[in-house]
Structure 1
Amino acid sequence: MNQSNQLKLAQRGAYLSLIIYIILSIAKFFVGTIYDSAAVRADSLNNMTDIIVSIAVIVGLKISIKPADSNHPYGHLKSENIATLLVSFVIMFVGIQVVIENLPRIFIKEHPTPNIITIYVSMISGIIMFIVYYINQRLAKYTNSSSLNSAAKDNLSDALVSIGTAIGLIFTQIGMPIVDTILATILGLLIIYTGFGIFKESIFALSDGFNERELTAFKNYILEVDDVIDVQSIKGRYYGSSIFVDVTIVVESNLTLEEAHHICDAVEQHMHNKGVSSIYVHPEPASIQ
């Protein structure tokens, strides 16, 4: 499957998340409002931020599909990272608002007891999000989409949050209604944490950061190629869901230019099979090491 088709397939996962989040956020907001649960309302806001994330992923993937042009010789693949960076600020802002709204309420004397229906809604929501996580995680691995992988992690986080909310709301039914407000505050902090995590990942990719373990693995893959004596240097960078690598390999000094070229081709093909989108290989003769 070529890169364009992979990105289109990744979009399906983003659309799935978007539809589910819209349904759940509306349902939770009305249930939380009607049955007086601050935690469920906060969870609905959490899902609303996920709607923004899903839209950003979709937009980023759509732009990423655009082919390279004279102004963007490497393509538009970093659009995913830019979109998620902008979204991270929105998520953190929403989280801060949730904390500001609910933290002072912890210290008031009276706390309403939410209806038991809020427990069922949160539990069902958690189960649905576990299913969405499973689907998107498989799609992310298949398409090698970093943004969809991040979305899948967010799906799992939302599933755990909803299940945790349901468990916490049980305590409100046994004479501890303050737990609802405490849960809402905790959810606000989790929203902030999620936004900050997305912010860090986006900055890491946009600043050409690269996972050292992954780079070491790539070096070992290159050394598997016949006639590659050593890897003198290797650099990597992320372009959205794509990986670009620059490597200098060491080969025998008595090789002809054509023979060295064939080795470079073999390295390129081997690394493409390992998931690298683009690789530049420079050969160096062993005699000048």
Structure 2
Amino acid sequence: MIAIWVSLVSNIVLTIIKIGVGFAFASPVLLADGIHNAGDIIATVAALTSSMVSKKPADEDHPYGHGKAEVVASAMVAVILALAALWIGYHSVLSLFEPPESESWLPLIAAFVSLVWKQALFVYTVRIGRAEKSKSVLATAYDHLADVYASLAAVVGIGLALLGDRLDWAWTAYGDPIAGIIVSLLVLKLAFEIGKEAVDILMERTVPAERLAGYETLISGLEEIKRIDRVRAREHGHYIIVDVRVGVPSHYTIQQGHDISRQIKHCIMDNDPDVVEVMVHLNPWNEGEDRAL
């Protein structure tokens, strides 16, 4: 939660700096980066809200918990990034057909400060996001990474234009808008990657095959299990839900079946802390049937 608040305050400050300096010195790439930061404020607020919602316990309307709230926030961040990328690209292309503006040192300094600040924020938030397995914090982290790309391109573009003014290199006059186009492509790629992951989770894509194989190995090690019929698992935001169907001797009592179900549940959850729910369905197994372990 603290990581998202730090990101929110940082985005507000950087937005004011970039848009103010960008307007004052007519720097397309810095102005575009500032507009991108303004979108980041909305994305960070969404991440903050979703992080609070995702921690709520399960209730009657949401029996599987609220973990997907963070995934919805990730999808919103992806949309905002994509719109920002298109905006940056459009205005950068327009700038190529206009007389180049003379660059100043202040936009270069603002872009460099943003670069260092955003790199530090990315390292900080990605570390927190991975430790807490928070989709919304990780989305915020990669949003910072997009800003790192944008600020780096701004530093290079403005720096080239300043160098060109000093050395009388005409071709560097358009370094600023060209950098803006490169930024738009990088941000668009990042938006696609974040959006794809969010959609996969919302569509309940299964977890990686090696993870499923690990669950099957754990279950097959239990003596009472005679057949594994099906093992499925899906991410539900920052946690995983597992579905298991297994065959047990048909003469077992309900109490024995209940004990086996609990054994399977604890076996998986003790070995994978990301799993918060294991739903077990028991099928009857008779002597001589296939033991597909």
Q: What is the CA–CA distance in structure 2 between the aligned matches of 1:174 and 1:53, rounded to whole Å?
A: 36
Quote the residue 1:95 is aligned against.
Answer: 85
Q: What is the CA–CA distance in structure 2 between the aligned matches of 1:244 and 1:69, rounded to whole Å?
A: 16
Alignment coverage as a number of residue pairs: 278
Aligned positions of 1:30-179 closer than 5 A: 30-108=20-98, 110-175=99-164, 176-179=172-175
8 Å CA contact 2:43, 2:76 repeated in 1:
no
Quote the residue 2:206 is aligned against.
Answer: 210
Q: What is the CA–CA distance in structure 1 between the aligned matches of 2:113 and 2:79, rounded to whole Å?
A: 29
* 119-128 or 256-265, which deviates more: 256-265
Quote the residue 1:281 is aligned against.
Answer: 280
In the TM superposition, residue 261 of structure 1 has moved relative to its aligned partner by: 4.0
Q: Tell me, what secondary structure is at the counterpart of 1:177? A: helix
Deviation readout 1:176-210 (Å, 9 max, x if unpaired):
12010111233233343343333322222211123
Q: CA 1:91 to 1:163, structure 2 compared with 1: closer, same or farther past 3 Å?
A: closer
8 Å CA contact 2:43, 2:80 repeated in 1:
no
Q: 1:200 aligns with which of 166, 174, 196?
A: 196
Quote the residue 1:5 is aligned against.
Answer: none
The aligned amino acid for 1:61 is S
Q: Tell me, what secondary structure is at the counterpart of 1:73? A: coil
CA RMSD of aligned residues (A): 2.7
Q: Which residues of structure 1 form unaligned runs of 5+?
A: 1-10
Q: Tell me, what secondary structure is at the counterpart of 2:104? A: coil
Q: 2:234 aligns with which of 237, 240, 243?
A: 237
Quote the residue 2:168 is aligned against.
Answer: none
Q: What is the CA–CA distance in structure 2 between the aligned matches of 1:118 and 1:28, rounded to whole Å?
A: 8
8 Å CA contact 1:32, 1:41 repeated in 2:
yes
Quote the residue 1:183 is aligned against.
Answer: 179
In the TM superposition, residue 266 of structure 1 has moved relative to its aligned partner by: 3.4
Q: What is the CA–CA distance in structure 2 between the aligned matches of 1:115 and 1:217, rounded to whole Å?
A: 59
8 Å CA contact 2:205, 2:234 repeated in 1:
yes
Aligned positions of 1:2-17 closer than 5 A: 11-17=1-7
The aligned amino acid for 2:233 is G
8 Å CA contact 1:42, 1:187 repeated in 2:
no
Q: What is the CA–CA distance in structure 2 between the aligned matches of 1:210 and 1:153, rounded to whole Å?
A: 23
> Scaled by the length of structure 1, what TM-score is found?
0.83
Q: Tell me, what secondary structure is at the counterpart of 2:57? A: coil
Q: Greater Rg, structure 1 or structure 2?
A: 2
The aligned amino acid for 1:210 is T
> Scaled by the length of structure 2, what TM-score is found?
0.82
In the TM superposition, residue 37 of structure 1 has moved relative to its aligned partner by: 1.4
Q: Tell me, what secondary structure is at the counterpart of 1:277? A: strand
The percentage of counterpart residues that share the same residue type is 25
Deviation readout 1:187-242 (Å, 9 max, x if unpaired):
23334334333332222221112332464354356347543566432222222222
Q: CA 1:117 to 1:224, structure 2 compared with 1: closer, same or farther past 3 Å?
A: farther
* 179-188 or 207-216, which deviates more: 207-216
